[in-house]
Amino acid sequence: MSGTGMDGTPGQPVGMRLNQIPADPGTGGGTQTPDLASSPEAKKKAANSIEQNIEPATRKAGDVADGSTDAAVKAFGPKDAEGWLTSGALKSAHGTWGEQVKALLDRLGGEKQSLRAANTVFSGTDLQIGTGVKGVRSPLDTY
């Protein structure tokens, strides 16, 4: 980018100069938690919430359109070798809807499994580290 430089010379690169440091430099994004904190209880609660609330509600919401869409497809369907294009379009849209609901349910199932697996990984890591630390002997252990 070119324009008038800081010295007023035309055609020179444009620069920027800060006269002072901002009073609040900001955090740079994210939270200011210094360590990774994992709560097995929170992960278990989230996985159970997916299983007991979100998945059934999603499945139910996905099924709501079945009856009314089937009725509309039949109403717009061919009668006496005549029919509306709307019938085929509704049927196609309903098929796409079903695929999207299935994809969402699969995603929720994957998230649920990941939450449960994360508990196992973190617990296993904690046990391994504890075992490793206990294996290091110190002369003070004899006292």
pLDDT of 20 higher than 90 = no
For residue 60, is it within any domain? yes
Encode pLDDT of 28-38 as tens digits: 555 555 555 66
118: number of Cβ within 10 Å? 14
For residue 5, is it within any domain? no
Cα–Cα distance between 115 and 49 in angstroms, integer? 11
Instruction: Work out the pLDDT band at 52, boundaries 50, 70, 90.
Output: very high
Question: Smallest Cα–Cα separation from 126: which of 134, 114, 116?
Answer: 134
Encode pLDDT of 84-94 as tens digits: 888 889 999 99
For residue 85, is it within any domain? yes
Instruction: Work out the pLDDT band at 39, boundaries 50, 70, 90.
Output: confident
Greater pLDDT, 14 or 73: 73
What's residue 76's pLDDT? 87
What's residue 6's pLDDT? 56
For residue 59, is it within any domain? yes
Cα–Cα distance between 85 and 87 in angstroms, integer? 5
For residue 48, is it within any domain? yes
Encode pLDDT of 69-118 as tens digits: 999 988 888 876 677 888 889 999 999 999 999 999 999 999 999 998 88
Which residues span the domain enclosing 97? 39-123
For residue 3, is it within any domain? no
How many domains are contained in the chain? 1
Q: State the alpha helices, DSSP H only, in the chain.
A: 40-49, 55-76, 85-135
For residue 2, is it within any domain? no
For residue 133, is it within any domain? no
Distances (CA, A) of 82 to 58, 74, 77: 37, 12, 8
The one-letter code for the residue type at 44 is: K
Rounded to a whole number, what is the largest CA-CA distance in the chain?
98
What's residue 129's pLDDT? 72
